[in-house]
C-alpha cells in the first residue's frame, strides 16, 4: 500500500516548468497560481504586461516562482519566439496550459471574417501550434503535460456563440488528436470544460442578474463557479497523478451538463 504522503507527492510539480497563456486574469490566472502553489516555476503569458506583473508579484508574495513572457498567441508567426522565451526562466517547458480566450458574442448573421478568424486562431490554432513548438523539449524529457480549456459551448449551442462555440468544440477533438499523437512519448493532453465562472470574459453575462440566477438553477450543485473550483482539476491534470489520463475533457461545471 502506498503511504498517504506518497499519493500526495504525485500531485506536486517541484522542478517542473509551466507556461500558462491568458494568465493575466480569470481562469488563466487561477490555474497559474495553482501550479505555482504546487511547486512549478510558472511562465505567465498575456498581452497586457501590467496584468502579468500583478500576477507575478502575487505568486512571489505567496512563496512561488513566476516570470512574465508577454505575447499575443493570436499571432502565429510569434509563437516560436514565445516558446523560446518561455524556456529561459526555469528551463524547457514541461507543462503548457492554453487558457487564452476571447468571445465577440456576435449573431451568426453578423460575424465578421476578422472576428471569426481571431477567435479560432486564439482558441483553436494557438493551442496546437504553440504546443508543437514545445513538444520537442517534452519528448527529450519523456514527460509533458498539455492542458486545453474547452467550454460548455463545446457541447451546447448558446445564443451569439457560433464562432466561440465552434472553436471550443474543436478544442475537444484537438485534445484527442494531440493525445493520440504524443502520449506515447510521455506527453499527455487533456482539457477542462468550465461551466459559468465570473471572469472578465463573462462580465456581460454576469451583468444580467436574472440570467445568472437561471444558470445557477441549471447546475446540480445550485451555484455558478468560482475560479478556485478549477484549480484542483488543473493541478491533477498537470501532475504525475494523471499519468494514465489522456485525451479526456473534464467538465468542471457544477453538474450543468449532468442535468
Active site residues: 164
Please, are residues 185 and 139 in contact by the beta-carbon 8 Å criterion? yes
Tell me the torsion sign for CA atoms 152, 251, 129, 97. positive
Grid cell for residue 201: 470574459
Looking up cell 501550479 gives: 35
Cα radius of gyration (the chain): 18
> How many helices (H) does the chain have, and how many strands (E)?
10, 7
Please, are residues 179 and 246 in contact by the beta-carbon 8 Å criterion? yes
Grid cell for residue 69: 513572457
Amino acid at each position: 500500500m502506498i503511504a498517504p504522503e506518497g499519493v500526495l507527492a504525485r500531485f506536486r510539480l517541484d522542478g517542473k516548468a509551466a507556461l500558462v497563456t491568458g494568465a493575466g486574469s480569470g481562469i488563466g490566472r487561477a490555474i497559474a497560481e495553482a501550479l505555482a502553489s504546487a511547486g512549478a516555476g510558472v511562465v505567465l503569458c498575456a498581452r497586457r504586461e501590467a496584468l502579468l506583473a500583478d500576477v507575478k508579484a502575487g505568486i512571489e508574495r505567496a512563496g512561488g516562482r513566476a516570470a512574465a513572457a508577454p505575447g499575443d498567441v493570436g499571432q502565429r508567426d510569434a509563437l516560436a519566439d514565445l516558446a523560446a522565451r518561455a524556456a529561459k526562466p526555469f528551463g524547457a517547458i514541461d507543462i503548457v496550459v492554453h487558457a487564452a480566450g476571447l468571445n465577440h458574442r456576435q449573431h451568426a448573421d453578423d460575424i465578421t471574417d476578422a472576428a471569426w478568424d481571431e477567435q479560432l486562431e486564439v482558441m483553436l490554432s494557438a493551442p496546437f501550434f504553440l504546443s508543437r513548438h514545445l513538444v520537442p523539449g517534452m519528448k527529450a524529457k519523456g514527460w509533458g503535460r498539455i492542458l486545453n480549456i474547452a467550454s460548455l459551448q463545446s457541447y451546447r449551442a448558446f445564443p451569439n456563440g457560433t464562432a466561440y462555440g465552434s472553436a471550443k468544440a474543436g478544442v475537444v477533438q484537438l485534445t484527442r488528436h494531440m493525445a493520440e499523437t504524443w502520449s506515447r512519448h510521455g506527453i499527455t493532453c487533456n482539457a477542462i470544460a468550465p461551466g459559468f465562472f465570473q471572469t472578465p470574459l463573462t462580465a456581460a453575462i454576469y451583468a444580467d442578474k436574472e440570467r445568472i440566477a437561471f444558470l445557477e438553477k441549471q447546475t446540480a450543485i445550485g451555484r455558478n463557479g468560482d475560479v478556485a473550483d478549477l484549480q484542483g482539476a488543473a493541478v491533477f491534470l498537470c501532475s504525475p497523478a494523471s499519468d494514465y489520463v489522456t485525451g479526456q475533457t473534464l467538465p468542471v461545471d457544477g453538474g450543468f451538463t449532468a442535468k
